[in-house]
Amino acid sequence: MRQIAILHYASAPVVGGVEATITYHARGLVDLGYDVRVISGVGAPFDPSVETHIEPLFGSKDPDVLAMKRALDGGTVPDDFEPLVERMTAALRVALDGCTVCIAHNVPTLNKNLPLSAALRRLSDAGEMRVIAWCHDLAWTNPQYLPELHDGYPWDVLRERWPGARYVTVSDARQLELAELLDLPPDVVAVVVPGIDPASFFNWTPTTHMIAQRLNLMDADGLLLTPARLTRRKNIQLGLRILAATRAQSGRDFRLVVTGPPGPHNPTNPGYLGELLGLRRDLGLDDSAHFLYAYGDGDEPLIPDDATMANLYLSCDALLFPSIQEGFGIPVLEAGLAGIPAFCADIPPLRKTGGTEAVYFDPVDEAPEIIAARILTTLEANPQFRLRVRVRQQNRWDVLIRECLVPLLEEH
């Protein structure tokens, strides 16, 4: 696998949007088998699987770089500009040794270190490596930077097309800006948006990581959570039938996550589990109705701890609670705190707990198809649900890296 360099003025542990992008790109590419070297002026090793090369000259705060920027901002190109570019070029050759592709964040379009921009341009023009110019910010289109920019070299390096470079922006709006600046057709500028990592955002436990990965939960079109033991009064069979109807009516990949193991006190519970497994099979739900107890170590059932349960509430899209007998209904409160809709049986304790904010159904006499239609109508009218699913499916870092970044690396 090819060695990939990622270049920026700073890298982790420096905090910033570009630095976060670099961190996720580096780790994601390593997970896919690439060798990755992060090159920056300020930073430190952040992952043992990612090579880190720190060269202070590549930063924006190096004394020589700051002195040069002060002169350039005033419109003067000092006599020592070219010698500094030569130093940068030599340092880049060392840093990039063995790399076939350099993803350069902002260096081709921002004036934080113009000698570095000029040096990278030389290496790109000479064909010493392929440059992917990842443009978060454009100096020449930003009023904040215009007083620091002047006609001619080296400022024009930031508004000229580098012939061998592949340009990438982080939004459609930035794509149009860059295309106009460089006089390019917009469609030759790729758009790869930043992402989000649900595991980090929700502070997933190792158990949640395992569940999400093994069951591929984050690609689902809808995640219904039933936090209940596998006992008859929890009415799990109705949940399965509702799931089947929801999938059939929507044509989408809805899932059901049932968190509890068989109940320990009723001797009929093992038989009930067998009935549920048979019903799941008969309904064609083996890959979409997930009983978490089955994912424990060896013969031990998996019983999610409190932190994992909190993860599941925050990661799923709705509570489905078809129980026919409850004392109170704590899951309805938990769903409310997690900010997800609660679809629950219309029995007095749950009606009292959920008030007018939950969505109810008759757990005995109402057809699963009717309940499923109510669930779908409620969810599809909810913009938060639609946004949540879109972000989960399209804006995860692993998806963006696999579907958008890797094809750019493999272009010839």
Per-residue pLDDT tens digits for 71-91: 999 999 999 999 999 999 999
Q: 191 forms bridges with which residues in the sheet?
A: 169
Distances (CA, A) of 46 to 52, 59, 218, 252, 336: 8, 18, 26, 39, 37
Residue 8 three-state SS: strand
Which pLDDT does position 1 carry in this prediction?
64
Q: Is the pLDDT of residue 373 over 80?
A: yes
Q: Is the pLDDT of residue 186 over 80?
A: yes
Q: What is the DSSP string of 134-151?
A: EES--GGG-TTTGGG--S
Whole-number average pLDDT of the chain: 96
- Which amino acid type is present at position 259? T
| Average of per-residue pLDDT across 300-314 | 97
Per-residue pLDDT tens digits for 216-252: 999 999 999 999 999 999 999 999 999 999 999 999 9
Q: Where are the domains of the chain?
A: 3-196+396-409, 202-394
Which pLDDT does position 106 carry in this prediction?
99
CA distance 64 to 214: 51
Res. 2 pLDDT band, cuts 50 70 90: confident
Judge contact between 205 and 299, C-beta under 8 A: no
Judge contact between 330 and 314, C-beta under 8 A: no
CATH of the domain spanning 3-196+396-409:
3.40.50.2000
Judge contact between 54 and 40, C-beta under 8 A: yes
How many CB atoms are located within 10 Å of the residue 160 CB? 15
CA distance 32 to 404: 13
Which pLDDT does position 262 carry in this prediction?
86
CA distance 171 to 26: 21
Query: pLDDT > 70: what percent of the chain?
Result: 98
Task: Give pTM, 2 decimals.
Answer: 0.92
| Average of per-residue pLDDT across 340-351 | 97
Phi-psi bin for 353: left (phi > 0), alpha (psi -120 to 50), beta?
alpha
Res. 26 pLDDT band, cuts 50 70 90: very high
CA 389 to chain centre: 12
Please enumerate in sequence order all residues whose Cβ is within 8 A of that of 326, keeping only pairs 6 or more positions apart, or say none: 345, 347, 349, 350
CA distance 306 to 115: 53
Judge contact between 344 and 322, C-beta under 8 A: yes
Q: What is the DSSP string of 321-381?
A: E--S--SS-HHHHHHHHHT--EEEE--HHHHHHHTTTSEEE-TTTS-HHHHHHHHHHHHHT
Res. 181 pLDDT band, cuts 50 70 90: very high
For 202-394, which CATH class? alpha beta
Which pLDDT does position 299 carry in this prediction?
85
Per-residue pLDDT tens digits for 95-126: 999 999 999 999 999 999 999 999 999 999 99
Which pLDDT does position 266 carry in this prediction?
57
Q: Is the pLDDT of residue 138 over 80?
A: yes
CA distance 304 to 317: 18
Structure-block tokens of residue 352 = 């009292």
Per-residue pLDDT tens digits for 150-164: 999 999 999 999 999
| Average of per-residue pLDDT across 54-61 | 98
Judge contact between 340 and 319, C-beta under 8 A: yes
Which pLDDT does position 258 carry in this prediction?
98
Per-residue pLDDT tens digits for 251-300: 999 999 999 998 665 555 678 899 999 999 999 999 999 999 999 998 89
DSSP state of 233: G
- Is 202-394 the same fold as 3-196+396-409? yes
| Average of per-residue pLDDT across 338-343 | 98
